[in-house]
Amino acid sequence: MGDQLGNKLDNQAGLFITFEGIDGAGKSTHISFVADALRRRGVNVVTTREPGGTALGETLRGLLLNEKMHLETEALLMFAARREHIAQVIQPALDAGTWVISDRFTDASFAYQGGGRKLDLSKLNVLEQWVHPHLQPDLTLLFDVPIDVARTRLDATRILDKFEQEQSDFFTNTRNEYLRRAAEFPQRFRVIDSTRSIAAIQQEISEIIDALCKQAARSDLNDSH
Ligand SMILES: Nc1ncnc2c1ncn2[C@@H]1O[C@H](COP(=O)(O)OP(=O)(O)OP(=O)(O)O)[C@@H](O)[C@H]1O
Ligand SMILES: Cc1cn([C@H]2C[C@H](O)[C@@H](COP(=O)(O)O)O2)c(=O)[nH]c1=O
C-alpha cells in the first residue's frame, strides 16, 4: 500500500480491496464485517464477487461452477466475466469515490487456473494485461489455512461445487500459488492466519483497515494544505 495508493487517494478515487483464499478458508465470513467497519467511518462501499457481480457474470458463474470444460475455456470465461464486472461495477464505483470489496479477483485465476489446473502463467499474464492493464487491488487479504482445515469446514456446511470437489493436490497447488503471489506483491497482500477464531481474525483485520483509513485520512489532510 505504497505510493500508488497515495496517488489514488490524492485523486479521491475509491479503494479496491479483494478477499482471496482456497475454498473454505473463511473469506466470505469477513466481507460484511469489513464493509460495515468502513461504513461506520463514513466510507461508501460496494461488495461484490467473482465470478459474478453482474447479470452476465452470474450466468457465467453458474456454468463455471457446475460444468466441466477445457482449462483454457475456464480461464477465458473467468476473464470474460471479469471484463464485464470491471466495466459495469468496479471501475464506475472507484471513479465515483466508492470503495469496492470483491470476494475474489485475478489472483484467484492465477491460484486456481494457474496453480491448481497448471495453466501456463504466461497465458494468464496476457489475459490480465488485456482485461485490466491499469487496475490492481490496493489491498488483498489472503485468508490462509491448511487444506484439511478448509475441507473440514466445507464438508460441514454445504453441497460442494465443481471446484470444491477437487482433490487435495489441486488445493495444495492453489494455496501455494496464492502464497507465491503474496510474496511477489508484498505491498498489497496481507496474509491472514485463518486457522484462528473468527474473533481473533476480525481483530487483525480491524487493525489492517484502521491503518488503511489513517493513510486515507492523512492523504485528505495533505490535499487541504
Ligand atoms: N475462523 C473460523 N473458524 C471456524 N470456522 C470458520 C472460520 N471462518 C469461517 N468458518 C466457517 O467455515 C465455513 C466456510 O467459511 P466461508 O464460507 O467464509 O469460506 P470461504 O473461504 O468464503 O469459502 P468459499 O470460497 O468456498 O465460498 C463457514 O461455515 C464458516 O462459518
Ligand atoms: C474468480 C475465480 C474463481 N475461481 C473459483 C474459486 C472458487 O472455487 C469458485 C468461486 O466460488 P466462491 O465460493 O464464490 O469462492 O470459483 C477460479 O477458479 N478462478 C477465478 O478467477
Nearest CA owner, ligand 1 atom 24: 23
Alpha helix (H) residue ranges in 41-70: 55-66
Which ligand minimizes its atom distance to the CA of 22? 1
Alpha carbon distances (Å) from 90 to 82, 86, 179, 198, 224: 10, 5, 25, 28, 27
What is the C-alpha separation between 215 and 22, in angstroms, rounded? 29
* Preceding peptide of 51 cis, ω within 30°: yes
What is the C-alpha separation between 71 and 75, in angstroms, rounded? 6
pTM of the model: 0.94
Residue 121's H or E segment, with its range, is: helix 121-131
Type of residue found at 148: D
Nearest CA owner, ligand 1 atom 10: 26
Which of 32, 153, 164, 196 to mutate to test ligand 1, by most ligand atoms within 8 A of the CB atom?
A: 153
Q: Which of 46, 70, 40, 75 is nearest to 60 (CA)?
A: 75
Type of residue found at 110: F
The pLDDT value recorded for residue 5 is 52
Contact 212, 1 (CB under 8 A): yes
Q: Could you state, in chain order, the average pLDDT of each consecutive group of 10 residues for the chain (225 residues)?
A: 50 89 95 96 96 98 97 98 98 97 98 98 98 97 97 88 94 98 98 98 97 81 50
Instruction: Give residue ranges with CB within 6 A of ligand 2.
Output: 23, 49-51, 65, 78, 103-104, 108-109, 112-113, 163
The pLDDT value recorded for residue 217 is 77
Q: Is 23 annotated as a binding residue?
A: yes
Counting from 1 in the atom list of ligand 1, the atom nearest the Cα of 198 is 1
Please, which residues have CB within 8 angstroms of residue 1's CB and are 6 or more apart in sequence?
138, 139, 187, 188, 212, 215
Counting from 1 in the atom list of ligand 1, the atom nearest the Cα of 200 is 1
The pLDDT value recorded for residue 3 is 47
